[in-house]
Structure 1
Amino acid sequence: MTTTDLIARHMIGGSYSDAGDKIASINPATGAVVGHVRADGAAQATAAIAAARAAFDTTLWPQSPRDRQMALLRWADALEADLARLAELLTLTNGKPLGASKGELGAAISEIRYYAGLTRHNPGHAMEVAPGELSVMLREPAGVAGIIVPWNAPAVLLIRSLAPALAVGCTTVTKPAPQTALFTAACMAPLFEDAAIPAGVVNVVFEVGHDAAQTLVTSPDVDVISFTGSNAVGQRIMADAAPTMKKLSLELGGKSCCIVLDDADIGVVAPKLAAAATIISGQQCTAARRVLVHESRLDEAKSALSAALQAVSIGDGMSDGTAMGPLIDIQSRDRVMRDCGTVYDTADEVVLRGGPLDGPKGSAFMSPALVVHSDPNASFVQDEIFGPLVVLETFRDEADAVAKANNTVYGLSASIWTHRGDASWRLARALRNGTVWINDHNRLFAEAETGGYRRSGLGRLHGFDGLLDFCELKHVYQNVGVVGH
């Protein structure tokens, strides 16, 4: 793929804009320039918000479910026809293996079609509250939705917000991460080019800093913010959005814990845990970060998990056989390495010392790390480190495992590994997490809601409930009387 002439431009009110600086998009596996992004800030966001507001207030988009369904289906068909090129662009800008990029795009296309099906079925309900007195509840689009998308899974994390927002009739302004902006622009291009979608319904602005995002969060003309990212940024969004009281959909950090019971086959489980820990090079909020193993199996778990992590094939995502690519950029890799340096100095045992790997100038490769630690309150056990670091801990019994797993401010996801069905369900019910997998990890579906307890976020994405964050519920009452009375 020849890509250096690619450029991502703002789309505002149906027209492209070249405003702002021309920023290089870098392949984190090679350091090569993939293309360029037009990056600007608050001015473009303000214009995009105005375009989205006008489209919501003056067009029939919010009242046209059949038109919205067909627009989503056309989008899905266009992405499917272009999947091979888009997958390459995703790998070139993000670094993940090409197979993972194809899988992510397949899941995203499936999700668009799922929400296209729901577009014509977003029902409220009605009741007769007293003789002749009717109360009708209608689900209506909330208005203008601001969607802030990270770089780690830019297809799925865009579409799981944008598709339901469009399905219910919102108009939208998307602010993607600059690292994968080229991919986002290509992914959204079929919407921009669809003449049947009114101008201003779908807008995108690119930036390197945070001015555009801040404008979306604080604007009184934005009714919903959907954000995926860190807990710290989520807290700032909540505070900055408070004066306008807008709806918030926040999926934030996680510290996913994998509980391995004493009956588990460690040799079988270890490679699966290694894969769960190194997904997107550990840069996924649901990635396996803590492994709690029964104390009788610790030595076996150390050996098997260390071997499994060392067996992960690291390299350019465009190369056959690569299971783990680079981190998103050198700055992120170096930050993770600094965090790991502190971990190595304080952990009870360093089983596998991860570190930077040689590669082309500008590449951001790192090998996985594994430590053993007994203090569940240690900072590196509690805090999210966004890279391939695994902390191995022990537990005595089920109650101890649950207490340690729940000893966190997060509550996004967890997994349980055992042959005992009763034990797996006891633990699943006791864990304070939005998603619990049994004998698996990182299994996400368009049909199944995802979200977190506690500081892992607000609301749910995916599934039918994914529509709710973009809707308002309106009660319409009328006393129509009763015939003959």
Structure 2
Amino acid sequence: MQNNDNTGRYQALHSIGGEASEGGAEALSINPATGELIGRFPAGGRAEAEAAIAAARHAFDSTLWPKQPRERQLALLRWADALERDLSSLADLLTRTNGKPLQQAKGEMLGAISEIRYYAGLARHNPGHAQEVAPGEVSVMMREPAGVASLIIPWNAPAVLLIRSLAPALAVGCTTVTKSASQTALFTAACMAPLIADAAIPAGVVNLIFETGYEAAELLTTHEDVDVVSFTGSNLVGQKIMAAAAPTMKKLSLELGGKSCCVVMPDADIASVAPKIAAAALIISGQQCTAARRVLVHESRLQEMKQALAAALSEARIGNGLEASTDMGPLIDAESRDRVWGEIEQSFDIADEVVLRGAPISGPQGSAFLSPSLIAHSDDNAPFCQEEIFGPLLVLEPFSNEAHAVQKANNTVYGLSASVWTNQTDTAWRMARALRNGTVWINDHNRLFAEAETGGYRRSGIGRLHGYDALLDFCEVKHIYQNVGVVGLG
């Protein structure tokens, strides 16, 4: 990663086997808040993916990296320290490439740094277990690195979503090929730069490639020398990855989106709950898979919630993420904004009520601003209640009792996250156990931690990232048996 001082613009290059590469046509990185050019990166493809996979395979097969947990721990700690030193500049670049408010970018960086240190600790604690299955017969189960891991990283939270895959993969001893989202390529390059430059890490352990198409990603899911695919993104792409990986039976770690419900019980304090739900809906401009999308509220509080949510959403200050007053930045690019706006407009046509009608917001050419919308609807089978619309749209739905709320909330192909809002502890836990989601928050939303596994039921994915169990996504378990006999007994 280089900063060209003559132009003030960034340039990123592929890193393959420890060497920088310019392979591919030049691609541009654009600030979605201003439309300005941030920098350039090479749009690679199949050739770069082939070379990166070969480098990772060679490093796994011919270096001691998979067998050196102490060295892996130290490498991760050095990476975390380097990112901490550059926190301000990295957060600034994250906001410029992604659009999110600078304070959110700083929070994401702090969370990512914390997570690297968490996995640095686990690098030296990935034990199996042993047992005597019969007299003198010993079975030992060892957790070993799976091999070469390909990591396909999205643009919406490019620090945390990179590190929650890359850190556990490196911690257990895998070698890696990371493919960054094109929109945040410059940030990913800057974030990985200290790791790539670390001379103590064998060449080929950490590889980074970019593309604007799909050739490289396709090869990363089909190549015989790739053992694990870790992907965060849409369910449709996840299905394609599963199909592509099937012939080679790769391990898969997939987080594939959601349609998160906030279930507001009759006793909830609407005045205090509504602003929190609005903030949960507008995180990353609604472009987060755990963002609040549906608000299920008891029918006795429906009108009150309409007014409170509409007011909270209307008060969001929309603008350039580098401005301190901004609550919500742009969507990732103008093309995505236009697609999301088209989906939201269609919802207006069939919803029972349009409570708050958002709209695209004019700005500099190439910017991608969109104000939030709120609709009310009783039928949870409506398309906008079922399909993930990746932007600032909330759907308000009434329910009559607990069973009705659970039935509506679970009427979805997704199962990533949900929240329950109530002052009654027994109600909260009863509802949380009934909701079929990988994460359920009580009186909160979007609270994610390095120590706590996240992942989804049903079409929200396979595997778990964050937490100790994330190591399993990058490990194989080997059973070693020996009959050693028993002293004095034959």
The alpha-carbon deviation at position 4 of structure 1 amounts to 4.3
Q: Under a length normalisation based on structure 1, what TM-score does the superposition of the two structures give? A: 0.99
Query: What does residue range 324-403 of structure 1 map to in structure 2 within 5 Å?
Result: 324-403=328-407
Q: Identify the residue that residue 60 of structure 2 maps to in structure 1.
A: 56
Partners of 2:315 and 2:294 in 1: how far apart?
19
The answer to whether 1:210 aligns with 2:214 is yes
3-state SS of the aligned residue for 1:220?
Answer: coil
Match of 1:468 among 472, 475, 481: 472
The answer to whether 1:254 aligns with 2:255 is no
Match of 1:144 among 125, 141, 148: 148
Question: Residues 360-412 of structure 1: CA distance to partner in whole angstroms, max 9, x if unpaired?
Answer: 11100000000001110011110000000000000000000000000000000
Question: Residues 148-176 of structure 1: CA distance to partner in whole angstroms, max 9, x if unpaired?
Answer: 00000000000000000000000000001
The alpha-carbon deviation at position 72 of structure 1 amounts to 0.1
Query: What does residue range 30-429 of structure 1 map to in structure 2 within 5 Å?
Result: 30-429=34-433
Gaps of 5+ in 2: none
What is the letter of the counterpart of residue 233 of structure 1?
Answer: V
- The more displaced of 356-365 and 56-65 is 356-365
3-state SS of the aligned residue for 2:35?
Answer: coil
Partners of 1:310 and 1:251 in 2: how far apart?
31
What is the letter of the counterpart of residue 343 of structure 2?
Answer: D
Question: Residues 274-315 of structure 1: CA distance to partner in whole angstroms, max 9, x if unpaired?
Answer: 100000000000000000000001110000000000001110
Partners of 1:151 and 1:8 in 2: how far apart?
16
3-state SS of the aligned residue for 1:221?
Answer: coil
Partners of 2:300 and 2:484 in 1: how far apart?
71
Gaps of 5+ in 1: none
Question: Residues 115-137 of structure 1: CA distance to partner in whole angstroms, max 9, x if unpaired?
Answer: 00000010000111111111111
The alpha-carbon deviation at position 5 of structure 1 amounts to 3.0
Partners of 1:124 and 1:37 in 2: how far apart?
42
The answer to whether 1:433 aligns with 2:449 is no
Partners of 1:210 and 1:8 in 2: how far apart?
19
Partners of 2:486 and 2:324 in 1: how far apart?
73
Partners of 1:154 and 1:401 in 2: how far apart?
34
What is the letter of the counterpart of residue 404 of structure 1?
Answer: K
Is the CA contact 1:144–1:223 (under 8 Å) kept in the aligned structure 2?
yes
Is the CA contact 1:349–1:371 (under 8 Å) kept in the aligned structure 2?
yes
The alpha-carbon deviation at position 27 of structure 1 amounts to 0.1
Partners of 2:9 and 2:405 in 1: how far apart?
53
What is the letter of the counterpart of residue 259 of structure 1?
Answer: V
3-state SS of the aligned residue for 1:426?
Answer: helix
3-state SS of the aligned residue for 2:349?
Answer: helix
Is the CA contact 1:257–1:291 (under 8 Å) kept in the aligned structure 2?
yes
Partners of 1:58 and 1:5 in 2: how far apart?
38
What is the letter of the counterpart of residue 471 of structure 2?
Answer: L
Instruction: Give aligned pairs, total.
Output: 485
The answer to whether 1:10 aligns with 2:14 is yes
Q: Identify the residue that residue 480 of structure 1 maps to in structure 2.
A: 484
3-state SS of the aligned residue for 2:369?
Answer: coil
Partners of 1:354 and 1:214 in 2: how far apart?
37
The alpha-carbon deviation at position 347 of structure 1 amounts to 0.4
Partners of 2:17 and 2:110 in 1: how far apart?
29
What is the letter of the counterpart of residue 24 of structure 2?
Answer: G
Partners of 2:440 and 2:8 in 1: how far apart?
42
3-state SS of the aligned residue for 1:153?
Answer: coil
Partners of 2:312 and 2:94 in 1: how far apart?
27
What is the letter of the counterpart of residue 457 of structure 2?
Answer: Y
Partners of 2:171 and 2:84 in 1: how far apart?
19
3-state SS of the aligned residue for 1:285?
Answer: coil
3-state SS of the aligned residue for 1:325?
Answer: coil
Partners of 1:204 and 1:303 in 2: how far apart?
48
Question: Residues 216-267 of structure 1: CA distance to partner in whole angstroms, max 9, x if unpaired?
Answer: 0000100000000000000000000000000000000100000001111111
3-state SS of the aligned residue for 2:459?
Answer: helix
What is the letter of the counterpart of residue 88 of structure 1?
Answer: D
Is the CA contact 1:154–1:180 (under 8 Å) kept in the aligned structure 2?
yes
Q: Identify the residue that residue 462 of structure 2 maps to in structure 1.
A: 458
Partners of 1:17 and 1:455 in 2: how far apart?
37
Partners of 1:284 and 1:383 in 2: how far apart?
14
Q: Under a length normalisation based on structure 2, what TM-score does the superposition of the two structures give? A: 0.98
Is the CA contact 1:4–1:33 (under 8 Å) kept in the aligned structure 2?
no
What is the letter of the counterpart of residue 407 of structure 2?
Answer: A
Is the CA contact 1:4–1:36 (under 8 Å) kept in the aligned structure 2?
no
